[in-house]
Amino acid sequence: MLAPVTFGRKRPLPSCPNPLFLKWLTEWRDSTAEKGLKTQYVYQKAISSLKKYPLPLRSGKEAKILQNFGDGICKMLDQRLEKYYAEHGPNAPIHSLPGISNVGRNQQKEPSPLSIQPVQEENQEPCLLKKKKADGKKQREYVPQRRSGGYAVLLTLYKDSKNPNSRGYMTKAELQRDAQSLCDKSFTLTDPSNRYTAWSSVSTLIQKDLVIKTHSPARYSLTEKGLELAQRLEVAEQAPDDRSDGTRRAGDISPEEDIEDTDTMACRESSNPNTLLPLYKTLTVSSSSTSSSLVNSKQSPEDPAPRSYNHVPDFTLLPGQFNILLCVDFIETTGGAAHRKQELVSELKRNGVNFDVRKLHIGDFLWVAQEKVTPVPGQLRIPQARELVLDYVIERKRMDDLCGSIIDGRFREQKFRLKRCGLRHPIYLVENYGSAQHLSIPETTLQQAIVNTQVIDGFFVKRTKDVRESAAYLTIMTRYLQSMYSNKTLLSCTKEEASTCDGVLHHDAQSCILMEFKEFNEGAMKNKAQTVKEVFARQLMQISGVSGEKATAILEKYSTPASLLSAYELCSITEEREKLLSNVKCGKLQRNLGPVLSKTLSQLYCTKEALS
């Protein structure tokens, strides 16, 4: 008796009736994504349109009816189709991938993509079949080249994950610093032959679902797939080198499988080889520092041992390689009375101040150290100058503007954001403007607000009588900073590293650790993604009587609304809830928050019905 014939799908059905076109578009998208080109998004849009189209296409020209298919993509498809016919014959099927179908190339009729063929093996499971390439072989798994950027990043993240003190992620600066020893190519400097660094391979790792990027500033960690690959790479790294017989070792692949190349000789033999080496700078704080420096360096007076901090910057600006530039917020030059705002610009030009008008997300004036760049022969555009922000930021307030900001609550919020921006010397420039008699707030109240800003909040306050005197102060500050930083070596850092570097800056007369301007300005945005703690702080400051210092004191004890509500739930009676926060210490004098404000907060967070 004959056994019953089992029918089933030999391979998964193609989701698109034009799998060959889809394959080529995907290859082009992946290639541009590895190089970090924005063209990848054009190909992705075309892929999405092609997947939705239910009918087979016979040429790239026919695809022009689809959305996101322009002349360029259609021409590329036709050229690739011509090459495909030349390699596989004029009658080669184009509506199924070659190497998968049993239909020969000599047949005139193409097989239907929906045809069902008998399974050759009884126990075969289609869901476990692997993808195949055009030559019929199994598609090789993506493995980064040994000592390439991707290879170094995977191993570094894996080693960090095994550390018991690991936070579960690494920042960009940490990753570049620790991975550099495992890579032949620089993570921060480009080769003379191309404009890509070893860091460019991280986008490939993210696309291949080996590394995940979260938060801002960015945090990088391994996925499960990346963890598995990193484990195999580490085993291969520890294995003896047996490549003398021409076989390839795990982690070594051909250049066409990875964007990374191993030829770094041109990089090592450049005219300035010292700039290609990792720059390690050790700044030491001695135990004989002043009391203020001990507070900044977070070192207790009882600890006699000096504190050292090893910092590896993304880049370094040596003396003579940068200019000090004043940055003016565009709001200071536009809107309102144009003639009055242009007067400030005119005065700065008259004084010979080098300045640039740009959008500042915090403060009205600040200074950056801008790298000196020169045109590169053969290139159309001048390389983009790198910038580090100096530790001085100025918030300018005219008396009428001060009055308005106090009324609408901006004044408190601005002071709070200035304290948290990461720059050590925030300055308030208060400019007199006409008479204060006709303002909504009495002049005595405005004067008290200015004094409180200096005495209680700790800001340096500079008073000027008009816009000309304000321009003169900015001129003097610019020349002072030019003199101060002219002989210093400037080391870049991220905003996360700035808190670690805090207090180290002033103990090395030759070096300064400064934030990159782009990251600083993006981090100071009002509407950026915020943590629960930051939103809670802003919420507390909307309550009458809660200043920035009081909100900070509450956050130190209860960092989220959930933790505060849990504490209220543990209180057995209403009176205990009302006094829960009364003994919280606030400010430099460590005064209690007080029973009145504590009661207000308890009513706000514990009253379920509407507040009267």
The Cα–Cα gap between 558 and 566 comes to: 10
Instruction: State which amino acid sits at residue 418.
Output: L
Q: Which one from 184, 260, 329, 457 is the annotated catalytic residue?
A: 329
Q: Which one from 110, 332, 400, 401 is the annotated catalytic residue?
A: 332
The torsion region of residue 36 among left (phi > 0), alpha (psi -120 to 50) and beta comes to left
Closest CA to 593 of 539, 545, 540: 545
Annotated active-site residue 522? The verdict is no
Q: Which one from 364, 401, 508, 522 is the annotated catalytic residue?
A: 364
Is the alpha carbon torsion for 499, 504, 505, 506 positive or negative?
positive
How many CB atoms within 10 Å of residue 118?
9
Instruction: State which amino acid sits at residue 411.
Output: F
The Cα–Cα gap between 356 and 506 comes to: 27
Radius of gyration of the chain (CA): 32
Q: Where are the beta strands (DSSP E) in 400-506?
A: 425-431, 460-464, 489-493
The Cα–Cα gap between 282 and 510 comes to: 12
Annotated active-site residue 534? The verdict is no
How big is the chain, counted in residues?
612
Annotated active-site residue 178? The verdict is no
Instruction: State which amino acid sits at residue 45.
Output: K
Please state whether the peptide bond connecting residue 56 to the residue before it is cis, i.e. omega within 30 degrees of 0: no
Residue 503's contacts (CB-CB under 8 Å, 6 or more residues apart) are: 285, 293, 295, 296, 297, 298
Q: How far apart are the first and last CA of the chain?
A: 89
The Cα–Cα gap between 409 and 521 comes to: 22
Catalytic (active-site) positions: 329, 332, 364
